[in-house]
Chain A
Amino acid sequence: MNSLTLLMFLPIIGSVAVAATPKAKETLTKQVALATTLIVAAATIAIAVGFERDNVDLQFVEKYSWIPSFGINFAVGIDGLALVLILMSTILAPIVVLAGWNEAHGGRWSVKVFYILILVLETMMIGVFAATDVFLFYVIFEAMLIPVYFLIGGYGSGERSAAAVKFLIYSLFGGLLMLASIIALYVMSGAQGGHTFDLAALSHLEMSSTTQNFLFLGFFIAFAIKAPLWPLHTWLPDAAQSATPGTSVLLLGVLDKVGTFGMIRYCLTLFPDASKTFTPMILVLAVISIVYGAFLAIGQRDLKRLIAFTSISHFGFITMGIFAMTSQGHSGATLYMFNHGFSTAALFLVGGWMISRRGSSTIADFGGLQRVTPVMAWSFFLAGMSSLALPGMSSFVSEFLVLVGTFTRYPVHSVIATFGIVLAALYILIPVQKALHGPTTPGNENLSDLNLREKIAIAPVIAIIIALGFYPSPLLKVINPASAHVIAQMGFTDPAPTNGDK
């Protein structure tokens, strides 16, 4: 069985097919790209069906020698965590392609290049979550920057070049710190039983606590930049403001998850002791992110920047859940990653449609859309409700799990974070009121409502959000064993009920 490798290379094959389409037939190009992403999504679902959810070991494991002289392998395999994230990425891809049907027009390069970049990026998205060789992970981690750089810089709007460069340099900086740590791990592995980049082998390395702390920071800073954690977040609003909505979905929905995914898969596994040492500091940063992101979202005038800041708040929740080290917090954080992908996708896609129709992303330029474009307004409203974690929406389940899981071990952090839910009501309802309610702003009277293609694109997102809000068990059953495994590896057990210490 080499299903994972096949899955990884399906989008590449698709991109070759896209490249082969004649330049004049742009619709054909888009259709080929859409078909490819749909096939990949179907293939991922097939893999998910074959996944044994109670098995905590890596599954679908493959290993090919890549650079033997350095002990580098092309090694992949997935557990519940990786499966959930790959599933999210591959389901989002066709939605992004369909939703952003006309995004590539007005770019610096042709429509074809846009879809080739998207498909290459999809391959890397699968690879980065599936990699079990640290070197392979690093290579994909850095290589992912390239398509995104071109997607922002080539097809974005406004100050797209500056935003793309800022994004690239920020990420490269973190990536290089991680590279230094990886090389150090490699060198140490040579002294302890042979050079290797294998994740499982590296996790058993013996090292002094000082070394572990420094290497941990190398990884963690890279991931904290990716998953924007305060105060390393300033690239995100700029990038999200300049990128096309589809790119923003992939950027915030998938790429940023590599950061939180990496915290679990690499920081916790490779450096359990250092993780414990830094937990208090990281939790404080996470709580700051939650509240700070929410306040800044309230203060934004630009719709895209607002959504970006809400994500900073949400990533604070995810990070808090990860480092709370309880099964509820951990499972909640993983579920949060999945749910955030869809709720952000909904916000960005609908927001993108609103912006492209109005020709402005300033919230004050909208107004009264509920009367003019009811379906679009409803979609935005539901996306917003999902973002503020209304019960019945999927994000509520994950947010509540994170809060309750954190509360059992770190009540103060959890209490402060809970104030974020009031702020969330504000940062969603303020733009909802300004954009959807009130009298129709001059210039908006003739905006067109969502067309069939857009309805087809947004319907599954909203359906997933609501369905998982009421019935998250299928995902939780995949996530729980993986989370429990990590918690157990770290040597933690859930705090027992205290009965108020009676």
Chain B
Amino acid sequence: MTTSNSLVYLIALPLLGATILLLAGRRADKWGHILGTLMSASSFAVGLYQLSQMLGRTNEARPVTQKLFEWISVGTFNVDAGLLLDQLSICFVLLITGVGTLIHIYSISYMSHDHDRRRFFAYLNLFIAAMLLLVLGNSYLNLYVGWEGVGLASYLLIGFWNHKPAYATASKKAFVMNRIGDMGLSFAIMIAFATIGTVSFEGIKEHAHHTSTGALTAIGIMLLVAATGKSAQFPLQAWLGDAMAGPTPVSALIHAATMVTAGVYLITRSNFIFDAAPTAQLLVVIVGAITLLFGALIGTAKDDIKKALAASTMSQIGYMILGAGLGPVGYAFAIMHLLTHGFFKAGMFLGAGSVMHGMNDEVNMRKYGALRKFMPITFVTFGLGYLAILGVPPFAGFYSKDMIIETAFNAGGIKGIILGTVTLLGAGITAFYMTRVMILTFTGKSRWDDEAHPHESPLLMWLPMAILAIGSVSSGFLLSRGDALVNWLAPLFEHHGEHKELLSPIVVSGLALAMVAIGVAIAFLKYSRQEVAAVAPEDVSVFTKIARQDLMQDRFNEAVFMRPGQQLTQVLVKTDEAVIDGAVRGVGQLAMGSGSILRGLQSGFVRSYAALILVGASLLIAAIWVVTK
């Protein structure tokens, strides 16, 4: 395998930026944002250089590795700090650093009034470094470092305004739920080491075929648990909505384009495990299918523009997970949807940020309306992203989402029909809630608060949005032209025979477009023809109420885990004091009690002491006499 000495710079540059910005403190306030952006951009440049090098090599020689140093080595457990850049990770590297750099640029302007802009850029750089480590690590343990590293960066960024208690709670919730997922990754690594004896991708791939299906299934399920935590999939999805507490560029970068897609990366990267573990693969598909409907349904009821987009992200990642769970035929489409989604969703989040910027940080879409005239660029870029997510040809989502729907239908048998129906239904609901977002925000009458003065955002903000919009338009076409991405990734996956087609691509596209049209039409009828209330109506159906509460996910978690956990903690604290420490104090009191009884003998009267001595001596003599007799 080719080795390279320059892979480390991908990670080192943003990491250096984060370190400098954090250590320099307020001294760096003036130039911190510039340094942060430069570091991210130079990492992107290194990524482009690596891509150019990779293009110049044959398929087999494309992956490059770099061993940095021996990290942990005990007995047979040997893990090097090593990096691996192959066809899969280069996609992520370019997405992370490319979108990341655009969002750095956007943030220069977006955060310009914030006292702590430097700290924000430090966290962003830290995130870029951790995310790159996640996709570049050559073993599960290296990936784990990046995996928790992005969790930390996400925690710091969600809680960037942690002086507001709700935001601090949101960041804590995200970290803890992510840790539950991380636990799954720990289990996967432990099982892998105990059964296969190694934790590197290469080693496990090599040994996977003579490892029992049971072990591989266990590893696969644990990896899925990890993926559900990081990618906000059912049942660990509840943190994502609250994570919108972070500044909007963070939502665009971390909670839309990159970090939340790490689960898809993990499953695709572990293709050699899932291909050999059909049960785990089936579970992946089920999780994806549930989440894509779950997220879409939440999206229909949210009035907070960021939370509506977050629900949409959850749903779209559900598509990717579902695609990745379909095996070798689905991996490339999952990655393609991931990349196109990175463009259009990041673009839409930045658009939402732009709207908030012009509307005094108002997030309630019911207080928007008619912004099309005041924010033309935002409207256009957001609109292009909207067309992309709907899957209207020839925008990006048309290529990537239709591929997943098609692959789902072709999965075979009942499974294929169910999955296909679910993905089609999801597409329809997506069209409904995204149209709702568009209508509420940009069209109709204005429902603003009195102090709102909407205005278009400055160049540094709309330029990244424009670039992402171009990506939303073109990326799908470019990536699927001549099956470019599929062929690019093909050497990484094991191939199976051609699948029989249940429905031809044209039929699938037709069905999908029909669903989208229905969704759009319903949204138009409901929100464009009728007056939209500035305050959310209360007399809504039970289903709407449930959807507004995120399908009861928080209530469930609180009732099943949080409150019993708190009660258990309180009981244990009391038990510790009363029973365990009580037993210890009991021993002490026993000693003191017996002492106070014996103290009665110490009367202070000399004559009673003398009498006791006499009695004692007599007894002693008597005893000796008895014994020696």
Contacts and interface: CB of A to CB of B under 8 A. Distances in A.
Contacts of B295: none
Interface string A234-268: 11000000000000000000000000000000000
Nearest to A477: B73
B169 interface: yes
A476 B73 contact: yes
A480 B74 CA distance: 6
B503 interface: no
A483 B69 CA distance: 23
A403 B190 contact: yes
B443 to A, nearest CB: 39
Interface in B175-223: 175-176, 179-180, 182-183, 186-187, 189-191, 193-198, 207, 210-216
B165 interface: yes
A368 B159 CA distance: 12
Contacts of B164: 438-439
Contact of A422 (B76, B180, B207, B573): B180
B72 A494 contact: no
B604 interface: no
Interface string B490-504: 000000000000000
Interface in A390-412: 390-392, 396-397, 400-401, 403-405, 407-408, 411
B317 to A, nearest CB: 23
Interface stretch (B94-102, B142-150, B342-350): B142-150
A442 to B, nearest CB: 14
Contacts of A233: 580
Contacts of B186: 400, 403, 418, 421
A471 B77 contact: no
Contact of B74 (A331, A407, A437): A331
A494 B145 contact: no
Contacts of B193: 404, 407-408, 497
B589 interface: no
Interface stretch (B55-63, B254-262, B409-417, B564-572): B564-572
A425 B72 contact: no
B72 A472 contact: yes
B75 A494 contact: yes
B531 interface: no
Given A234-B584, A296-B573, A500-B214, A439 B76 contact: no
B455 interface: no
B168 interface: yes
A498 B75 contact: no
Contact of B163 (A418, A429, A439, A470): A439
A38 B249 CA distance: 48
Contacts of A170: 584
Nearest to A479: B74
Contacts of A422: 176, 179-180, 183
Given A429-B176, A502-B210, A414 B190 contact: yes
Nearest to A411: B194
Given A401-B74, A473-B73, A496-B197, A425 B179 contact: yes
B195 A429 contact: no
A390 B77 contact: no
A473 B207 CA distance: 27
A391 B149 contact: yes
Contact of A391 (B148, B175, B573): B148
A473 B74 CA distance: 10
A407 B568 contact: no
A8 interface: no
B553 interface: no
A473 to B, nearest CB: 5
Interface in A447-502: 470-473, 476, 480, 483-484, 494-502
Contacts of A368: 163
Interface in A363-412: 368, 370-371, 374, 378, 385, 390-392, 396-397, 400-401, 403-405, 407-408, 411
Interface string A200-241: 000000000000000000000000000000010111000000
Contacts of B195: 497-500
Contacts of A411: 190, 194
Name which of B81, B179, B182 has the most chain A CB atoms within 10 A of its CB: B179
A9 interface: no
Given A419-B183, A429-B176, A439 B165 contact: yes
A332 B74 contact: yes
B483 interface: no
Name which of A368, A374, A400 has the most chain B CB atoms within 10 A of its CB: A400
Given A407-B193, A429-B175, A438-B165, A476 B74 contact: yes
B197 A497 contact: yes
A328 B187 CA distance: 16
B72 A299 contact: no
Given A401-B74, A473-B69, A295 B212 contact: no
B70 interface: yes
Nearest to A170: B584
A300 interface: yes
A292 interface: yes
B474 interface: no
B576 interface: yes
A298 B183 CA distance: 19
B449 interface: no
A344 B175 CA distance: 22
A426 interface: yes
A433 B152 contact: no
B211 A327 contact: no
B31 interface: no
B74 A390 contact: no
A415 interface: yes
Nearest to B152: A390
B446 interface: no
B172 interface: yes
Contact of B75 (A169, A421, A484, A501): A484
B176 A426 contact: yes
A371 B163 contact: yes
A418 B210 contact: no
A430 interface: yes
A326 interface: yes
B554 interface: no
B42 interface: no
Contacts of B569: 295-296, 298-299
A502 B180 CA distance: 30
B558 interface: no
Contacts of A370: 162-163
Given A404-B77, A425-B176, A499 B163 contact: no
Nearest to A422: B179
Nearest to A233: B580
B74 A295 contact: no
B547 to A, nearest CB: 29
Given A295-B568, A400-B189, A426-B176, 14 more contacts: A295-B572, A328-B74, A374-B25, A400-B141, A408-B194, A418-B190, A437-B159, A437-B163, A437-B168, A439-B165, A476-B72, A499-B210, A500-B195, A500-B211
Closest 3 CB pairs of A and B: A500-B215, A500-B212, A497-B197
25 contacts: A234-B576, A296-B572, A299-B573, A326-B75, A391-B145, A403-B186, A407-B191, A422-B176, A422-B183, A432-B172, A433-B168, A439-B163, A470-B71, A470-B81, A472-B72, A473-B69, A473-B71, A480-B75, A494-B76, A497-B196, A497-B197, A499-B207, A499-B210, A501-B212, A502-B210
Interface of A: 166, 169-170, 231, 233-235, 292, 295-296, 298-300, 326-328, 331-332, 368, 370-371, 374, 378, 385, 390-392, 396-397, 400-401, 403-405, 407-408, 411, 414-415, 418-419, 421-422, 425-426, 429-430, 432-433, 436-440, 470-473, 476, 480, 483-484, 494-502
